[in-house]
Amino acid sequence: MENKTGKYLKYAFGEITLVVVGILIALGINNWNENRKNIQAEKVILNNIYENLISDSIQFDYYKSQYKQIERLHVELYEIGFKDEIIDSISEPILIRRTLHFKQLIDSDFKENSKEINNFKVREAIILYTKSITSMEHIYLIGVERLIEQRLKPYLAEQKLYNPQNWFELKNKTFSGFEFKETKGKNIIDEHGLIASAKTQKFQQILLTLNIKWNEFNSRLLTVIEENNKLRELIKSELKNY
């Protein structure tokens, strides 16, 4: 009986061991599958963010080119007003009231998917990037845009510097991409009137404040562009490990 009992216990122990090992193997395979799914899901998210960063960079390049044109116009109007330079023609007058259209993609995607990004370096870089975008937008909205809407545009209307006829004769009054198609050969702003206004102290004060705000925005923009480039390089490098 003792021999039979001993054999039975050994058999039972062996069976239990096999069951436990089977369970552990199953759990291991399940965990491996889950980890693999998470890694693949994170890879998809990072690829999407990378594509959105490219879209953002295209828009940032447009902002940069617009800033350069606006800065050039500001300098021309400054030289007319303070240096009394005689200029028959200036850059596109409509640029004096130019505003930008913001449509960053990265921010919304990050808020939706940030919890699924386990890569610490990438997650920290995205947090820094989105903070820089928020800072840039804040400077633009409360600085540049508010000044244009509350001071510059009322001044232009007051001084009768708009050309209503040119506006109503425009064939295309819609946005295309990020640019408003209204300036090709049709100046909505009276160019000669703007040149005359540039010689007044009131306009020069508005111009000074506006130029300061545009330069603050441009400083933030350059930071965002740099971080966008770095983040793309980081994601591209890290994706090789997935």
CA end-to-end distance (rounded Å), the chain:
59
Give the model's pLDDT for residue 119: 85
Give the count of domains, the chain: 1
Examine the pLDDT at 103 and tell me if it is beyond 70. Answer: no
Q: What's the pTM value of the predicted model, to 2 decimals?
A: 0.79
Confirm if 53 and 235 have CB atoms less than 8 A apart: yes
- Give the confidence band of 177 by pLDDT, cuts at 50, 70, 90: very low
Examine the pLDDT at 115 and tell me if it is beyond 70. Answer: no
**Domain span including residue 106:** 2-239
- Please indicate whether residue 124 or residue 2 has the higher confidence score (pLDDT): 124
122: closest CA among 38, 238, 240, 242? 238
